[in-house]
Amino acid sequence: MSTEKKPNLIKWSLKYSISAAIAGILCCVAPAILFMFGIMSGVYAISFADFFYNDDGSSGTGAWVLKGLALCIGVYGVYSFRKKQNQCSIDKKSKRKNLILLVTIVFFAGVGLFLTLEKWSSWYFDKHIVPAQQKELKITT
């Protein structure tokens, strides 16, 4: 009977919290990065991001779908950690402590990174993409 190596709590939680945060804010980070590398114009970057938001700036259906996907990634990370942890011979008290720590780290790291990326992308859009869009629109008119 072989016992599997117990999963690394920190690596596992960071992998899923980072994945969830990026999935949740993909609507803003993707066009910002593509614009940054010159792959996307300002006009297209804003129209791409606008697809996910309502006219008043609130989250639209697309943004909520991405946030739901982020939640699913986080939940799946906790579920798969628990499943893998249950294959190991760890005492129940330690399993419960690890699960609580994992949920806490995934939640706070995921939400923290999401909010940081949201703030960064808002700043980047205002500072670089919007001026580029306005310049591009003047050229075409």
Model confidence pLDDT, tens digit, residues 20-59: 999 999 988 999 999 999 999 998 988 888 888 888 878 8
Residues composing the chain: 141
Task: Give the pLDDT confidence score for residue 124 in this predicted structure.
Answer: 94
List, for residues 63-96, the tens digit of each pLDDT value.
999 999 999 999 999 999 988 887 766 788 888 8
Provide the percentage of residues in the chain whose pLDDT is more than 90. Answer: 58
Task: Give the pLDDT confidence score for residue 84 in this predicted structure.
Answer: 85
What single string gives the DSSP state of each residue in 8-59? -HHHHHHHHHHHHHHHHTHHHHHHHHHHHTTSS-HHHHHHHHHTTB-TTSSB
* 71 part of a folded domain: yes
Helix pair 26-36, 42-50: axis angle to 10 deg: 170
Structural domains counted in the chain: 1
Task: Give the pLDDT confidence score for residue 141 in this predicted structure.
Answer: 61
Backbone angles phi, psi at 58, to 5 degrees: -75, 165
Of 119, 117, 14, 25, nearest to 69 by C-alpha is 25
Of 94, 90, 89, nearest to 3 by C-alpha is 89
* 1 part of a folded domain: no
User: Mapping DSSP to helix (H, G, I), strand (E, B) and coil, where does residue 5 land?
Assistant: coil
* 2 part of a folded domain: no
* 4 part of a folded domain: no
Q: Which of 15-24, 99-108, 132-141 has the lowest mean pLDDT?
A: 132-141
What single string gives the DSSP state of each residue in 78-116? HHHHHHHHHTS---HHHHHHHHHHHHHHHHHHHHHHHHH
Task: Give the pLDDT confidence score for residue 59 in this predicted structure.
Answer: 85
Domain that holds residue 46: 9-140
* 78 part of a folded domain: yes
Q: Which two tokens stand for residue 59?
A: 């989250």
* 13 part of a folded domain: yes
